[in-house]
């Protein structure tokens, strides 16, 4: 009986040792991989930390200053829709800040038009986004810092 208990303890301890060894090897492999790439490991963000990576933008010039790999978003605080435009070399994202441009909001079905606020001129004119259903104070645009590429590897955000 005593031998049987000793064998069970030995089996359990050897399984724990093997599992712990695999866990340590996996952790070391992950650290070496991250060090080899010269990047810090990704950490989950808490609360509103992700908002610190975004900048509120209000002009076409600010949109044009973004670099390929950055992202822009137009968010409606009423219908909770978030539209994301990845910045590429074709500068299609600039349309989100060009006076007179229109887009359909997939959240409420309204038409969103880019209008001037009366502050600034040309590409430095401040704009706002007026939704035919949510109103003129519902939408805002934000973007990653120019050249940061902070959202490059984040997939599309969904509601």
Q: What is the pLDDT of residues 31-47, one digit of tens each?
A: 666 555 554 555 554 54
Task: Please count the helices (runs of H) and the strands (runs of E) in the chain.
Answer: 2, 7
Residues 31 and 57 in one domain: no
Query: Are 62 and 139 part of one and the same domain?
Result: yes
pLDDT at residue 25 is higher than 70: no
Q: Is the pTM of this model over 0.85?
A: no
CA distances from 70 to 43, 51, 73, 135, 154 (A): 20, 15, 10, 28, 11
Tell me the C-alpha distance between 142 and 63, whole Å: 9
Question: What is 11-50 written as a DSSP string?
Answer: HHHHHHHHHHHHHHHHHHHHHHHHHHHT-PPP----TTGG
As a whole number, mean pLDDT of residues 102-126 equals 88
38 domain-assigned = yes
Residue 154 lies in a domain: no
The verdict on 84 and 117 lying in the same domain is yes
53 in the same domain as 38: no
Asked whether residue 14 falls in the same domain as residue 64, the answer is: no
| Lowest mean pLDDT segment, chosen from 54-63, 80-89, 114-123, 137-146 | 137-146
**Considering only 20-24, 117-121, 126-130, which range has the smallest mean pLDDT?**
20-24
Residue tagged 């959240």 (tokens): 107
**Domain range for 8:** 1-42
Instruction: Give me the pLDDT at residue 148, please.
Output: 55
The tally of domains found in the chain comes to: 2
Give the residue-averaged pLDDT of 2-24.
Answer: 68
Question: Dmax over Cα atoms in the chain, in whole Å?
Answer: 91
pLDDT at 98 over 70: yes
Quick check: is 63 in a domain?
yes
Do 85 and 139 reside in the same domain of the chain? Answer: yes
């Amino acid at each position: 009986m005593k031998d049987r208990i000793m064998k069970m303890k030995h089996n359990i301890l050897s399984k724990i040792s093997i599992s712990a060894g695999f866990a340590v090897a996996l952790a070391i492999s992950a650290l070496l991989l991250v060090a080899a790439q010269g990047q810090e490991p990704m950490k989950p963000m808490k609360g509103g930390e992700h908002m610190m990576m975004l900048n509120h933008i209000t002009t076409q010039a600010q949109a044009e200053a973004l670099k390929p790999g950055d992202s822009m978003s137009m968010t409606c605080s009423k219908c909770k829709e978030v539209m994301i435009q990845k910045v590429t070399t074709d500068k299609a994202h600039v349309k989100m800040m060009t006076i007179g441009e229109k887009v359909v909001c997939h959240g409420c079905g309204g038409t969103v038009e880019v209008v001037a606020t009366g502050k600034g001129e040309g590409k430095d004119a401040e704009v706002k986004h007026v939704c035919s259903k949510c109103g003129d104070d519902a939408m805002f645009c934000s973007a990653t810092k120019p050249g940061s590429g902070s959202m490059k590897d984040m997939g599309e955000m969904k509601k």
